[in-house]
Amino acid sequence: MKFLKDQMPAALEMLRQMVGINSFTGNRQGVDRLGRLTAECFAPLGFTAEFVPSANPNYGDHLVLTRRGRTTKNIAMVSHLDTVFPPEEEERNNFSWQLEGDRIYGPGTHDIKGGTVMMWLVLQALRTPEPAVFEEITWKLFWNSSEETLSQDFADVCRNRFDRDTLAALVFESEGRLGGERLVVVARKGRGTWRVKVTGRGAHAGAKHPHGANAVVELAHILQRVAALTNYKQDLTFNVGTVSGGTVLNRVPHEAFAEGEFRAFTTEVYARAKAALLALSGPGEVRSPVDRYACEVKVEILTESRPWPRNPNTDRLAAIWQEAGKELGIPVNVQERGGLSDGNLLWDAVPTLDGLGPWGDNDHCSERSADSSKLPEYVDVTSFLPKAALNTTAILRLLEGRTTDGHR
């Protein structure tokens, strides 16, 4: 703890510099600048950098840092470079590094630059008191340049570079809290995005109304059915996000569209939900009165991020974190989270644990109201030390191959 405490000024200075670089996903130059700064921050620990171009040319490079160890034992750590705030928004809302009491407000302080700094703290803490252990391990650190847009190509960047028998992929997204318990993330929902297109038959709304098959009315029917697929008992949600359709008021509309998403924790529920959604394709119930011409419904899946379900490999890691918590007097519990992370891309390749970053709140918010009912993203400074100690202790236990009851 004393050692970690001494590292905090350097860690916070590192965080300040990182937060000072706008790394909105669409700001390619900013993301690349942050990637270079990150590589420089970890270089004194013996890491060498590889910059991997994104599949999307509008995004910055993914960053991979490697430190070869003396044995084949290896551990991966995962974070991301990008944030959700365009530079204009940061400026408009005067949203930048601001220390107030225990809180640091600023873009990415919590999601996820604070997580990156947590990685640095943990590696420092492992290296200095336990240099022999640190030197044994091959450490591979991965930063997604475009996590906030769910870039799937990052999965290959990691999977192609994982060594054999990687002990863990540790993801440094933010910590969960429940009362005094710190929550590590052991599952995340999968998410599918979809689009419904209804094709009807246009007609003059005055002269030939019965000839029309109203695409907007059909879409309204279909969206009721989509919404009804939500099943809270199964942790399955469907969200209708946007609708559009029709052109001018004297036409029976010939086209209408809607887009949305659905989310589920388990592979089975996800697959059933997707099938039920796709089954809505086909002739609709809205028909033209004159000749029974039917609207046509077409459902397509736009993007998919697979669920990260509860699984024994992740649970084993979580148990190690809980045991480490006991050793340190920090209560640790597990959490299944609705939002996605890079853990969704990795859990079936390597045992994966998430939520290892610091604590904070209001991610993805840049606004502050005069009465403080609206506050922007912040990280809690006091959450770094205990969490770094927890992560360090847990990693040492993982490397010793101790089982949860303390035996080898």
* Residues at the contact surface with Zn ion, assessed by CB under 5 A: 111-112
Residue nearer to Zn ion on the CB measure, 150 or 294: 150
Nearest distance from C-beta of residue 136 to Zn ion, angstroms: 30
Nearest distance from C-beta of residue 25 to Zn ion, angstroms: 11
Q: Which helix (H) or strand (E) holds 345?
A: helix 343-346
Residue nearer to Zn ion on the CB measure, 149 or 267: 149
Residue nearer to Zn ion on the CB measure, 108 or 309: 108
Q: Which helix (H) or strand (E) holds 51?
A: strand 48-52
Nearest distance from C-beta of residue 78 to Zn ion, angstroms: 10
Residue nearer to Zn ion on the CB measure, 197 or 337: 337
Classify residue 8 by its DSSP letter. Answer: H
Residue nearer to Zn ion on the CB measure, 112 or 389: 112
Chain position carrying tokens 């937060």: 19
* Omega before residue 320 within 30° of 0, cis: no
Q: Are 375 and 208 in contact (CB under 8 A)?
A: no
Nearest distance from C-beta of residue 249 to Zn ion, angstroms: 44
Q: Are 221 and 243 in contact (CB under 8 A)?
A: no
Nearest distance from C-beta of residue 10 to Zn ion, angstroms: 23
Q: Considering only CA atoms, which of 114, 59, 44, 165 is closest in space to residue 360?
A: 114
Strands 62-67 and 138-144: antiparallel
Nearest distance from C-beta of residue 113 to Zn ion, angstroms: 10
Nearest distance from C-beta of residue 201 to Zn ion, angstroms: 46
Q: Which helix (H) or strand (E) holds 89?
A: helix 87-92
Residue nearer to Zn ion on the CB measure, 212 or 355: 355
Nearest distance from C-beta of residue 321 to Zn ion, angstroms: 19
What three-state secondary structure class fits 376? Answer: coil
Q: Considering only CA atoms, which of 62, 155, 84, 82 is closest in space to residue 352?
A: 155
Nearest distance from C-beta of residue 156 to Zn ion, angstroms: 19
Residue nearer to Zn ion on the CB measure, 112 or 379: 112
Query: DSSP letters along 266-328, please?
Result: SHHHHHHHHHHHHTT-EEEEEE-TTT-PEEEEEEEEEEEE--B---HHHHHHHHHHHHHHHHH
Q: What is the token pair recorded at 288? A: 């033209």
Nearest distance from C-beta of residue 275 to Zn ion, angstroms: 30
Residue nearer to Zn ion on the CB measure, 116 or 322: 116
CA quadruple 301, 303, 305, 306: dihedral sign: positive
Residue type, 91: E
What CA dihedral angle connects 147, 152, 158 and 161, to 10 degrees?
Answer: -140
Residue nearer to Zn ion on the CB measure, 216 or 340: 340
Nearest distance from C-beta of residue 97 to Zn ion, angstroms: 18
Residue nearer to Zn ion on the CB measure, 200 or 307: 307
Residue nearer to Zn ion on the CB measure, 18 or 112: 112
Q: Are 360 and 379 in contact (CB under 8 A)?
A: yes
d(CA 403, CA 314): 14
Helix then strand then coil, % of the chain, to nearest 5 = 35, 30, 35
Query: Counting every residue, how long is the chain?
Result: 408
Phi, psi dihedrals of residue 272, rounded to the nearest 5°: -65, -40
